[in-house]
Amino acid sequence: MPFDDINREFSFPLQKIIDEYKLEVIYMPEDGGNTLISDHEINRPGLQFAGFYEYFDKQRIQVMGRTEHSYLSTLEPNVRRERIDNLLSYKFPALIITRDLDVFPELVESAKEHETTLLRTDESSSVFTSKLVNFLNLQLAPRITRHGVLIEIYGEGVLILGESGVGKSETAIELVKRGHRLIADDAVEIKKASNITLVGSSPDNIRHFLELRGIGIINARQLFGVGAVKLNEKIDMVVELELWNPEKTYDRMGVDTHYMTILGVKVPLLTIPVKPGRNLAVILEVAAMNNRMKKMGYNAAKDLLHQLGIDSDSEEIMSDLNI
């Protein structure tokens, strides 16, 4: 059961990286902080300083470490300026110098001439590039926004979906009262952090707010405290609430795991019928714990079938036994 995902390119301003890593600004042109970053990869320009520009992508941030710095140090000032000019003429978003290395005067002059942002960090190249790549992957991850509720239950990120009025927000508020944490209500921003990981969060302007019919808007953080909310959470399972349909056959065993595909990532899916008398908060708590057990390799339904000596592929037999 896939979402109708729309592939889009995302970008964010360079200033976000400067603020995140508290980078020293050696030189930045006017409005340079608003330069848009749209490539999730970086480049070490050693080959470019040596004159090789085939496959060079000028959309990438350039990171200069000790190796590149040492190479430039071996060049005559006029040759060094020429090599630096050649690189900065491509007008990439920024050049970041690591290890708090000294900045060549030729580099500053060329940066001003080509209006290229020049930054510096005291972190080592390997540590900084690892952090930066992870940051870029998260900021530029494919994403969609879906109507639903995201809540952390016993460490499991549970995305609750369903038609308007089925009781998603009411279930969420009961779970919050029981000690679990709200991430998003009404609109859930879902990012594909990796090929196997989805991370959900709330839009900034509605974060921590819930709508309860008959009461109105409440702020979960103000009402229940900061321990009742969380900024983002990995999505471990999807629960779809629907009004009880007596003509529909619901899964009573749970031998097989059903999935929903979101942004190309398969996530375990449960469909839970809603009717008066069902305590949805408790059901979701059990569902979250059971999902964790399945990830640890234990499936209660298969264990029961094994105890009864029944093949786990023959779930319909259980219906005949009224179990």
Question: Residues 214-233, buried b or exposed e (16+ Cβ, 10 A)?
Answer: eeeebebeeebeeebbbebb
The span from the CA of 220 to the CA of 179, in Å, is 12
Dist. CA 15–CA 23, nearest whole Å: 10
Pick from 164, 207, 158, 204: nearest CA to 185: 207
Contacts of 209 (CB under 8 A, 6+ apart): 185, 186, 217, 218, 219, 220
Question: Per the residue annotation, which of 16, 66, 91, 147 is the catalytic one?
Answer: 147
Which of the residues 5, 39, 85, 186 is marked catalytic?
Answer: 186
d(CA 95, CA 88): 9
Is residue 180 annotated as part of the catalytic site, yes or no? no
The number of residues in the chain equals: 323
258 catalytically annotated: no
Q: What is the 8-class DSSP label of residue 229?
A: B
> Exactly one of 40, 80, 168, 230 is catalytic; which is it?
168
Query: Where do runs of H (alpha helix) occur along the chain?
Result: 15-21, 46-49, 66-73, 77-88, 105-114, 125-139, 168-177, 220-224, 280-295, 300-308, 316-320
- Shortest CA distance to 200 belongs to which of 143, 121, 129? 143
What one-character-per-residue DSSP string does 141-197 give?
Answer: --EEEEEEEEEEETTEEEEEEESTTSSHHHHHHHHHHTT-EEEEEEEEEEEEEETTE
Q: What is the phi/psi pair of residue 193, to 5°?
A: -75, -30
Catalytic, 186? Answer: yes
Q: In this structure, what token pair is assigned to residue 226? A: 């900061």
CA 243/CA 47 separation, integer angstroms: 62
Which one is catalytic: 112, 252, 278, 306?
A: 252
Catalytic residue IDs: 147, 168, 186, 252
